[in-house]
Amino acid sequence: MAPVAHVIVEIALNREFDYEIPDSLRDAVQLGSLVEVPFGTRHTRGYVIGLAGESAHDKLKEITRVVGDRPLIAPEILELARWISRYYMAPIEHAVRTVLPSPVRKPGARFKERLHVVPEDKAQQALHVDKLRASHARRAKILDLILAEGEIFLSELTTRAKTTAGTVRKLEEEGFVRIASRAELRNPLADQNVLPTEPLELMPQQAGALKAIRASMDTLEPAVILLYGVTGSGKTEIYLQAIQTALDRGQGAIVLVPEIALTPQTVRRFSARFGDRIAVLHSSLSTGERHDEWHRVRDGDARIVIGARSALFAPVQDLGLIIVDEEHETSYKQEESPRYNARDVAVMRGHQQRVAVVLGTATPSLESMHNAQRGKYGLATLPHRVDHRRMPAVRIVDMRSEAAHGGGRIPIFAKDLVMAMHDRLDRREQIMLFLNRRGFSTSITCPICGHVIDCSECSVSMTYHKRHDLLHCHICGARRGVPAVCPNPECRDPAFKYAGVGTQRVEEVVRKLCPRAAVARMDADTTTRKGSHEEILNEFRRGKIDILVGTQMIAKGLHFPNVTLVGVVNADVSLHMPDFRAGERTFQLLTQVAGRAGRGDVMGEVFVQTFTPSNPSIQAARQQNYDLFYDQEIEFRRELKYPPFSRLVCITLTGPSEPLVELTAKELVRQLQSRLSEEIICSDPAPAPLAKARGNYRYQVMLRGPTAAAVTSPLRRAVEAFTWPRDVKHTVDVDALSLM
């Protein structure tokens, strides 16, 4: 029997196909190889995900060709993809697609070739002949330029010498120059001037943490270290020195940061220490840059990868360390199939490859801290800022009493906050004003009756966009005008129109309150252009902006010494999400935001405006007391058997007919029940908090069990045996984070 390859092809989901490996390709076909195979009447590309001596099928077709000189998917990455597919109940194709960036996967993906012009000896000689200078002044100018540069891109030459490629070709024919093509790396860090940095002498608490990480790199006991350090405690310096340790041992490293924190500022800190041994992988790079960076990593030219979620799958050789910064961040979870959490997959990659993993954060997720408490992870704590500056004072402002004083009208800013703002401006200090997520915060709420305008298709509030004076639904894109009075028939208040509190509205009010201050806004609307995010932050850093208004974008990992006042306009927004993690999110957000204040010489101050000042998460945030928060939150989770005391799997069914979706969900649960062991808790089907999106109704079923597999193995069987109506789609989200 000829050997057989199990191949997944790019055009058919959820199935493996067997192909015969012809003798001529015996050596070339390996696990992870990209191959071309006949499929139906045409050829397609696929990946070899298994090898076998024989097949259960007969009359196999042969693999036509192997693409590339070695497997595109390294064996350890393929193993990880398999685990993702199994654990997250996702098709293996989705997992494979996730571990290979599309610029690498695409047919025809290759290095960019650029034409260079190099002078020949004859060029030098020619210029010494005065005759040429006189009779061929233009040519002489071109040659001068080439000689001055030594070597120049053809395109640059034609621009600078105001000539054409044809003229240069002529010079080549006459033997003055040579035009050569060579691969040019598109390096995203190329145009940055970074001053190199040396390792800092560590503070005792940092040294202790680094020692623990090095021990973990040696013994893998424990294999995962939770690095819990307040903002400004010097976690990044520890990462840098731990990476240096890996490099010294000939090993590479991966650093994951949330997409939103992957600013040039962050990248610069790493490239300042490690130079071109750094590769950057994230979605805002050009296709070419991503292709080239990936290959630099695979070829061992770059030893350290820094990037968002998917950088975890970089083919780093001799991996020695994985760091996940801001491990609590929900953006590590991919909200489409495969719905993996990069933090958790990082721990799995570490486990499979016997590599130490560091999870760093100022506000550990309940899951990670619980693992540390029960000894599964090591714990290194940095309780103080490096400079021993005091944490800012956090003041809770009760907006109910503000409303009472204002005759029922709720002001955007409490009086105390406004006073504090003037105070800081007088002292030439900077201010950040912070609003939660835009989809929720820019809805128009009637200040009298609390009425909110919802999208009729999506059951979320519509958001107000000042520029077009329109309401938009961010789920389905619907738009409508703003009513002149409150639509609630019992209210009809004309103040309605002006009541919305979004970043734009806050900006407007701030400009009125502080007419002499320079105000800028940073949210998804003002940062759509590439680089605009960084531009605003640079202006702010240089002191060109006094007050920065923004969404959580401005809360992440930024360091502005002159910011002494931070205002949270409405802390309740995240608290009132229909999600058992709402308290955790609120605590994390407030702590992050508070961490922005007072990183310089002046003591910082934080105002948190809320309608629920006695809420435990808000109180714990006021005291900046993670332990207090953790202790009360973990009890709540234990009582209700929420994660980390269970694994949560969320099934969402969607379709255009609500009765059919509901009926299908009920029937699925009925069939599922009989397969479930007693330790699994299965909810009744219920409309999702986001009950309708893009015209489709959404129902959810929540399952909780002691392990993910205890839930997913019976679920997988039930889903496969189920007769799905054509109009009802379903998704399975293992370890779901967003329960919308």
Q: Does 624 bind ligand ADP (CB under 6 A)?
A: no
Of these, 202, 425, 476, 628, which contacts ligand ADP (CB under 6 A)? 202
Torsion of CA 466, 468, 474, 477, to 10 degrees: 170
- Strands annotated E in 17-141: 17-20, 34-39, 42-52, 65-67, 112-119
Smallest separation, CB 587 to ligand ADP (Å): 18
Going by C-beta distance under 8 Å and a sequence separation of 6 or more, which residues neighbour residue 452? 443, 444, 445, 446, 461
Cβ proximity to Zn ion, 478 vs 663, nearer residue: 478
**Residue 103 C-alpha from the chain's centroid:** 18
For residue 594, give the amino acid letter.
A
Tell me which of Zn ion, ligand ADP, none is bound by residue 562, counting a contact when its beta carbon lies within the kind-specific cut-off of 5 to 8 angstroms.
none
Of these, 13, 129, 180, 200, which contacts ligand ADP (CB under 6 A)? 200
Of these, 55, 233, 251, 609, which contacts ligand ADP (CB under 6 A)? 233
Going by C-beta distance under 8 Å and a sequence separation of 6 or more, which residues neighbour residue 532? 526
The residue behind tokens 């809320």 is 610
Tell me which of Zn ion, ligand ADP, none is bound by residue 478, counting a contact when its beta carbon lies within the kind-specific cut-off of 5 to 8 angstroms.
Zn ion
Residue 506 is encoded by which pair of tokens?
């806050």
Cβ proximity to Zn ion, 294 vs 697, nearer residue: 697
Per DSSP, 132 falls in state H
- Strands annotated E in 120-193: 152-153, 177-184
Q: Does 598 bind ligand ADP (CB under 6 A)?
A: no
Q: Total binding residues for ligand ADP by CB under 6 A?
A: 14
3-class DSSP assignment, residue 480: strand
Cβ proximity to ligand ADP, 626 vs 697, nearer residue: 626
For residue 370, give the amino acid letter.
H
Tell me which of Zn ion, ligand ADP, none is bound by residue 567, counting a contact when its beta carbon lies within the kind-specific cut-off of 5 to 8 angstroms.
none
CB-count burial class (<10 Å; 0-12, 13-18, 19+) for 549: buried
Q: Does 564 bind ligand ADP (CB under 6 A)?
A: no
* First and final C-alpha spacing in the chain: 52
Q: Is residue 253 a contact partner of residue 246, using CB atoms and an 8 Å limit?
A: yes
The residues in 376-395 that bind Zn ion, with binding defined as CB under 5 A, are none
For residue 112, give the amino acid letter.
K
Of these, 103, 188, 234, 252, which contacts ligand ADP (CB under 6 A)? 234
Tell me which of ligand ADP, Zn ion, none is bound by residue 326, counting a contact when its beta carbon lies within the kind-specific cut-off of 5 to 8 angstroms.
none
Q: Does 229 bind ligand ADP (CB under 6 A)?
A: yes
Residues in the chain: 740
Tell me which of ligand ADP, Zn ion, none is bound by residue 206, counting a contact when its beta carbon lies within the kind-specific cut-off of 5 to 8 angstroms.
ligand ADP
For residue 1, give the amino acid letter.
M
The residues in 347-386 that bind ligand ADP, with binding defined as CB under 6 A, are 386
Closest C-alpha among 69, 5, 15 to residue 37: 5
Tell me which of Zn ion, ligand ADP, none is bound by residue 237, counting a contact when its beta carbon lies within the kind-specific cut-off of 5 to 8 angstroms.
ligand ADP
Q: What are phi and psi of 410, to 5 degrees?
A: -95, 115
Of these, 6, 186, 235, 622, which contacts ligand ADP (CB under 6 A)? 235
Q: Does 348 bind Zn ion (CB under 5 A)?
A: no
Of these, 206, 266, 441, 564, which contacts ligand ADP (CB under 6 A)? 206
The residues in 478-507 that bind Zn ion, with binding defined as CB under 5 A, are 478
- Strands annotated E in 197-299: 224-229, 252-256, 278-281
The residue behind tokens 């393929």 is 78
Per DSSP, 333 falls in state B
Q: Does 236 bind ligand ADP (CB under 6 A)?
A: yes
The residue behind tokens 């021993």 is 388
The residues in 106-125 that bind ligand ADP, with binding defined as CB under 6 A, are none
Of these, 55, 158, 205, 231, which contacts ligand ADP (CB under 6 A)? 231
Neighbours of 716 (CB within 10 A): 15
Neighbours of 330 (CB within 10 A): 15
Residue 142 is encoded by which pair of tokens?
């071109």
Q: Does 664 bind ligand ADP (CB under 6 A)?
A: no
Q: Does 588 bind ligand ADP (CB under 6 A)?
A: no
Tell me which of ligand ADP, Zn ion, none is bound by residue 491, counting a contact when its beta carbon lies within the kind-specific cut-off of 5 to 8 angstroms.
none
Q: Does 476 bind Zn ion (CB under 5 A)?
A: yes
Smallest separation, CB 532 to ligand ADP (Å): 24
Q: Does 457 bind Zn ion (CB under 5 A)?
A: yes
Smallest separation, CB 579 to Zn ion (Å): 20
Q: Does 232 bind ligand ADP (CB under 6 A)?
A: yes
Tell me which of ligand ADP, Zn ion, none is bound by residue 234, counting a contact when its beta carbon lies within the kind-specific cut-off of 5 to 8 angstroms.
ligand ADP
Q: Does 691 bind Zn ion (CB under 5 A)?
A: no
Q: Does 115 bind Zn ion (CB under 5 A)?
A: no
Q: Does 475 bind Zn ion (CB under 5 A)?
A: yes
Going by C-beta distance under 8 Å and a sequence separation of 6 or more, which residues neighbour residue 240? 199, 269, 270, 273, 274
Of 45-53, 230-238, 602-610, 630-638, the segment contacting ligand ADP by CB under 6 A is: 230-238
Smallest separation, CB 696 to Zn ion (Å): 11
Cβ proximity to ligand ADP, 387 vs 679, nearer residue: 387
Of 164-172, 473-481, 611-619, 663-671, the segment contacting Zn ion by CB under 5 A is: 473-481
The residue behind tokens 């006459």 is 174
Smallest separation, CB 314 to ligand ADP (Å): 22
The residue behind tokens 């693409």 is 67
Spell out the SS3 assignment of 240-260.
HHHHHHHHHCCCEEEEECCHH
Q: Does 52 bind ligand ADP (CB under 6 A)?
A: no
Q: Does 203 bind ligand ADP (CB under 6 A)?
A: yes
Smallest separation, CB 387 to ligand ADP (Å): 7
Closest C-alpha among 243, 257, 261, 278 to residue 559: 261
Of 97-105, 198-206, 504-512, 671-679, the segment contacting ligand ADP by CB under 6 A is: 198-206
**Residue 615 C-alpha from the chain's centroid:** 30
Of these, 93, 237, 292, 402, which contacts ligand ADP (CB under 6 A)? 237
318: alpha, beta or left? (left if phi > 0; alpha if psi -120 to 50) = left
Write out the residues near Zn ion by the rule CB under 5 A.
455, 457-458, 473, 475-476, 478
Write out the residues near ligand ADP by the rule CB under 6 A.
200-203, 206, 229, 231-237, 386
